[in-house]
């Protein structure tokens, strides 16, 4: 019976996707003032950007160059934020009390402010102001800091609402090696006195920075790095299983970045499937000097369902129409994924490979036209139908994120060691901000609207809200998507997640049920989108869980459900 239900859902979703091809368009508007090396959607109007203080035009009130800022998507302006430590190439996550945590970063850059970011922990928000006025980054390095030096770490929010901090390097490097690699795990808030060494990360050297990581419905953590993957149990600190290697030698972590997404979790089974597209199949034993920025990348997408049957089938390969590295993946409220930015050839990182002194970049041949992965189809999932080309190359240190309004903010690019103006290199520092808009935003056509909704959603809680669905939209396909829009940096959208909520719609009354438990959606601020006939509402921000400080006790983590997730 469960299977029949799942199949009928799939049939409905198929017809949705087949019905509407969204026509997307780029609009350029405003300049970011700093390079958004990290981009995080924090409110209906604001995006937080982290960079380093190195020649950015945006100035703090005291005249110093800004290395963090809030971007307002309504006014297209950046407001500088003061930080004490350098968040360049940090990782992070929202935690259960609504605070955005940023971890790690780079060492002293200039000798002056900002300070060494390698052990930095930065706490932002919750920020109630729609303009960001009064919202600050809190740091207390003497008392709140990492246990290890970490540049390029991943921050993953766990079911208890705390953040697991995975891997990284302790110095600027192309390949992570025995001296630079930080092959360990720790937590914020801390769970113990020491870090947890990771054999898996050691085995994934030298291509193991920003390990791609996902919390599964079982509560276990899936981690992929280089071309290997594994299943980790946080409570017992054990690697439960080494999972299949990504086929055909494709490697997906920095500096060979592909982008990995957890595809939508759909009731009643919430079967987890991960998808990773792009990266490189170069032999990672080739020395840096033997690599060039014209080396082919991969056109491979690899997809695996993390159930016993899915693992037995292994990674399923699908091919993109072209090869890509450094693509950003953006999960859409309808469950599809857009891959955008990056290059067709080369690698991540600052100029270090052959030929990079000529173009000023480890990657070349920018990928100007995004790709759409239509998740709900059973084949021919990859298309570029409806997707335009940008005219702005977005290489290393560029980003893209879904906003609360339901469009995609695209910004950044600086594959150079320092801020580099146009005219001197192929890919100068890029401050122009673009939005990739779906046709219903471009045309301002009627969209579903969520009214009078709650600000909090407990696990398994039923909540009633008023909605309007324009008569022009077919009511046969309604989806309620609960999303974490991720902490975006370096083709890694950590914590990006979409959980389809069970719902009943009667007239204008929508009754939704919160995710059953914290394994399905680790507690934190989230976005609710109502999708009708392929058109999504603006997002509604709410707190999932009780909003308490991490770690949340088991009693605040919802109900157990049967799951076939490994
Ligand atoms: C750019 O943003 C400003 C401020 O929101 C707005 O007035 C203007 O219409 C926008 N321009 C374009 C081309 O969208
Ligand atoms: C590791 O990488 C660093 C930075 O690139 C380099 O200085 C060092 O020599 C390398 N060490 C080893 C053991 O290869
Ligand atoms: C993964 O990488 C290792 C080390 O380079 C290589 O020996 C192995 O064959 C690769 N696995 C696959 C499935 O390509
Ligand atoms: C890389 O090494 C191979 C094998 O030695 C060689 O043929 C090739 O020319 C080298 N490429 C570069 C860019 O150094
Ligand atoms: C780039 O580096 C190569 C090898 O070191 C050198 O031969 C070449 O002249 C350099 N090109 C430029 C534009 O600096
Ligand atoms: C959220 O929790 C963290 C970790 O315990 C704590 O440092 C921070 O102060 C809390 N934030 C708020 C707003 O209470």
Residue 281's CATH number = 2.130.10.80
On the question of pLDDT at 477 being above 90, the answer is: no
Q: For residue 492, what are the contacts with CB-CB under 8 A and spacing of at least 6?
A: 91, 154, 210, 212, 254, 257, 259, 260
Give the pLDDT confidence score for residue 108 in this predicted structure: 66
pLDDT (mean) for 460-468 = 97
Q: Is 178 in the pocket of ligand 2 (CB under 6 A)?
A: yes
Tell me if 242 is assigned to some domain.
Answer: yes
The rounded distance, in Å, linking the Cα atoms of 117 and 279 is 27
Please name the residue whose Cα sits nearest to atom 11 of ligand 3: 249
Q: Is residue 522 part of a domain?
A: yes
CA of 386 to the centre of ligand 6 (A): 43
* Distance from residue 97's CA to the centre of ligand 6 (Å): 6
CA–CA separation, 482 vs 504, rounded Å? 15
Convert the pLDDT of each residue in 390-431 to its tens digit: 999 999 999 999 999 999 999 999 999 899 999 989 999 999
Token representation of residue 362:
């480890």
Distance 276 CA to ligand 6 centre (A): 33
Could you tell me if 483 and 369 lie in one domain? no
CB-ligand 5 contact for 358 (6 Å cutoff): yes
Ligand 4 pocket, mutate which of 290, 293, 353 (most atoms under 8 A from CB) = 290
Question: Quick check: is 563 in a domain?
Answer: no
Query: Do 240 and 225 share a domain, yes or no?
Result: yes
**Is the minimum distance from the CB of 352 to ligand 2 under 6 angstroms?**
no
Instruction: Quote the percentage of the chain above a pLDDT of 90.
Output: 92
CATH number for position 522: 2.60.40.10
368 C-beta closer than 6 A to ligand 5:
no
DSSP per position, 274-322 = EEEE--B---TTS-GGG-BTTSB-EEEEEEEE-SHHHHHH-PEEEEEEE
Residues 525 and 477 in one domain: yes
Report the candidate in 403, 256, 258 with the shortest Cα–Cα distance to residue 327. 258
Ligand 2: residue of 106, 170, 173 to mutate (most ligand atoms within 8 A of CB) is: 173
Q: 289: CA distance to ligand 4 center in Å?
A: 9
Shared domain for 386 and 512, answered yes or no, is: no
* Mean pLDDT computed over 206-230: 98
Query: Do 362 and 496 reside in the same domain of the chain?
Result: no
Residue pair 394/341 in contact by the 8 Å Cβ criterion? yes
Question: Is 564 domain-assigned?
Answer: no
Q: Is residue 135 situated within a structural domain?
A: yes
Residue to mutate (ligand 3; options 245, 280, 281, 304; most atoms within 8 A of CB): 245
- Which atom of ligand 6 is the closest one to the Cα of 188? 4
Q: pLDDT per residue over 330-357, tens digit each?
A: 999 999 999 999 999 999 999 999 999 8
Distance 248 CA to ligand 3 centre (A): 8
What is the tens place of the pLDDT at every residue in 509-565? 999 999 999 999 999 999 999 999 999 999 999 999 999 999 999 999 999 999 999
The answer, yes or no, to whether any atom of ligand 3 lies below 6 A from the CB of 249, is yes
CA of 468 to the centre of ligand 1 (A): 27
Report whether pLDDT(17) > 50. no
Query: In this structure, is residue 421 part of a structural domain?
Result: yes
Q: Is 96 in the pocket of ligand 6 (CB under 6 A)?
A: no
Considering only CA atoms, which of 131, 172, 121, 125 is closest in space to residue 151? 172
Q: Please tell me the distance between residue 548's alpha carbon and the centre of ligand 4 in angstroms.
A: 56
* Same-domain pairing of 182 and 295: yes
- C-alpha 348 to ligand 4 mean position (Å): 19
H/E element, 467: strand 462-468
Residue 34, domain extent: 11-441
Average pLDDT, the chain: 94
**pLDDT confidence of residue 11:** 38
pLDDT of residue 464: 96
Q: Report which protein residue has its CA nearest ligand 2's atom 6.
A: 173
With a 6 Å cutoff on the Cβ, whether 44 touches ligand 3 is no
CB-based contacts of 159, cutoff 8 Å, min separation 6:
215, 219, 517, 518, 519, 522, 523, 557
Residues in the chain: 566
pLDDT at 359: 84
The helix/strand/coil state of 417 is coil
Q: How confident is the model at residue 4 (pLDDT cuts 50, 70, 90)?
A: very low
- Distance (angstroms) between ligand 5 centre and the Cα of 286 equals 20
Which pLDDT belongs to residue 9? Answer: 40
| 184 and 311 fall within a common domain | yes
Strand ranges across the sheet with 163-166: 154-157, 163-166, 184-188, 196-197
Q: Do residues 123 and 101 touch, judged by C-beta distance below 8 A? A: yes
Last residue of a domain, one of 387, 408, 441: 441
Tens digits of per-residue pLDDT, 315-324?
999 999 999 9
Give yes or no for residue 110 having a pLDDT over 90. no
pTM of the model: 0.95
Domain match, 325 and 462 both: no
Atom of ligand 5 nearest to the CA of 355: 1
Asked which of 7-16, 302-311, 405-414, 443-452 is least confident by mean pLDDT, the reply is 7-16
Looking at all shown ligands, the one closest to residue 249's CA atom is 3
The total of structural domains in the chain comes to 2
Order of strands across the sheet with 121-124? Answer: 91-94, 100-103, 121-124, 137-138
Q: What is the mean pLDDT of residues 229-244?
A: 98
Rounded-to-integer distance, Cα 425 and Cα 62, Å: 31
Question: Is the Cβ atom of 29 under 6 angstroms away from ligand 1?
Answer: yes
Both 385 and 491 in one domain: the answer is: no
Same domain for 421 and 487, yes or no, is no
- From the CB of 357, is ligand 5 less than 6 Å away? yes
What is the distance in A from the centroid of ligand 5 to the CA of 357?
A: 6
Q: In sequence order, which residues have a C-beta less than 8 Å from that of residue 314 and are 6 or more positions away?
A: 244, 247, 304
Structure-token pair, residue 376: 């709900």
Q: Could you tell me if 434 and 483 are in contact, meaning their C-beta atoms sit under 8 angstroms apart?
A: no
Classify residue 55: in a domain, yes or no. yes
Of 441, 465, 500, the position where a domain reaches its end is 441
Question: Which of 411, 441, 471 is the last residue in one of the domains?
Answer: 441
Alpha carbon of 437 to ligand 1 centroid (Å): 13
Ligand 6 nearest atom to the CA of residue 126, by list position? 13
CA distance 138 to 373: 38
Name the residue with tokens 């309808």. 334
| Other Cβ atoms closer than 10 A to 558 | 23
Query: Does any ligand 2 atom lie closer than 6 A to the CB of residue 289?
Result: no
301 and 177 share a domain? Answer: yes
- Cα 267 to middle of ligand 5, angstroms: 56
């369902």: which residue's tokens? 305
Q: Which residues line ligand 4 (CB under 6 A)?
A: 290, 292, 354
Determine which residue's CA is closest to atom 4 belonging to ligand 3.
284
Atom of ligand 4 nearest to the CA of 354: 13
Ligand 2 center–CA 163 separation, angstroms: 29
Residue 357 domain-assigned (yes or no): yes
Binding site membership of 300 for ligand 3 (Cβ less than 6 Å): no
Question: Do residues 437 and 452 share a domain?
Answer: no
């Amino acid at each position: 019976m469960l299977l029949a239900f799942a199949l009928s859902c799939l049939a409905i979703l198929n017809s949705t996707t087949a019905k509407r091809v969204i026509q997307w368009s780029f609009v350029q508007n405003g300049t970011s003032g700093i390079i958004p090396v990290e981009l995080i959607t924090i409110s209906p109007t604001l995006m937080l950007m982290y960079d380093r203080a190195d020649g950015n035009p945006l100035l703090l009130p005291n005249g110093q160059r800004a290395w963090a800022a809030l971007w307002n998507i309504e006014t297209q302006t950046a407001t500088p934020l003061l930080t004490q430590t350098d968040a360049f190439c940090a990782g992070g996550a929202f935690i259960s009390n609504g605070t955005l945590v940023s971890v790690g970063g780079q060492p002293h850059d200039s000798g002056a402010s900002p300070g060494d970011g390698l052990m930095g922990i930065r706490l932002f928000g919750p920020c109630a102001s729609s303009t960001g006025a009064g919202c600050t980054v809190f740091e207390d390095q003497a008392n709140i800091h990492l246990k290890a030096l970490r540049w390029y770490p991943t921050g993953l929010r766990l079911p208890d609402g705390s953040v697991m901090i995975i891997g990284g390097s302790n110095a600027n490097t192309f390949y992570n090696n025995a001296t630079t690699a930080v092959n360990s795990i720790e937590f914020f808030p801390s769970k113990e006195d020491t870090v947890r060494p990771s054999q898996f990360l050691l085995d994934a050297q030298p291509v193991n920075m920003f390990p791609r990581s996902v919390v599964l419905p079982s509560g276990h953590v899936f981690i992929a790095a280089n071309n290997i993957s594994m299943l980790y149990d946080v409570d017992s600190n054990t690697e439960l299983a080494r999972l299949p290697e990504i086929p055909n030698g494709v490697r997906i972590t920095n500096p060979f970045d592909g982008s990995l997404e957890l595809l939508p979790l759909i009731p009643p089974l919430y079967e987890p499937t991960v998808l990773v597209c792009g990266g490189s199949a170069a032999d990672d034993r080739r020395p840096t000097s033997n690599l060039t920025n014209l080396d082919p990348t991969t056109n491979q997408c690899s997809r695996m369902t993390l159930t016993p049957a899915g693992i037995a089938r292994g990674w399923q390969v699908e091919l993109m129409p072209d090869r890509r590295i450094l693509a950003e993946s953006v999960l859409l409220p309808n469950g599809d994924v857009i891959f955008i930015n990056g290059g067709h050839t080369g690698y991540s990182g600052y100029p270090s490979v052959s030929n990079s002194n000529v173009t000023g970049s480890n990657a070349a041949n920018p990928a100007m036209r995004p790709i759409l992965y239509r998740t709900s189809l059973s084949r021919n999932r990859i298309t570029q139908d409806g997707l335009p080309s940008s005219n702005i190359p977005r290489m290393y240190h560029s980003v893209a994120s879904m906003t609360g309004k339901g469009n995609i903010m695209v910004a950044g690019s600086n594959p150079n060691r320092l801020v580099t103006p146009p005219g001197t290199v192929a890919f100068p520092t890029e401050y122009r901000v673009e939005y990739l808009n779906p046709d219903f935003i471009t045309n301002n056509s009627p969209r579903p609207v969520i009214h009078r909704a709650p600000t909090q959603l407990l696990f398994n809680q039923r909540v009633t809200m008023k909605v309007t669905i324009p008569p022009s939209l077919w009511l046969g396909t309604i989806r309620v998507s609960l999303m974490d829009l991720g902490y975006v940096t370096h083709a890694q959208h950590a914590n990006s997640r979409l959980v389809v909520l069970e719902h009943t719609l009667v007239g204008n009354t929508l009754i939704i049920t919160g995710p059953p438990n914290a394994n399905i959606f680790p507690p934190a601020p989230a976005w609710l989108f109502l999708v009708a006939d392929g058109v999504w509402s603006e997002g509604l921000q709410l707190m999932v869980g009780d909003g308490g400080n991490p770690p949340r006790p088991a009693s605040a983590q919802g109900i157990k459900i049967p799951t076939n997730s490994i």
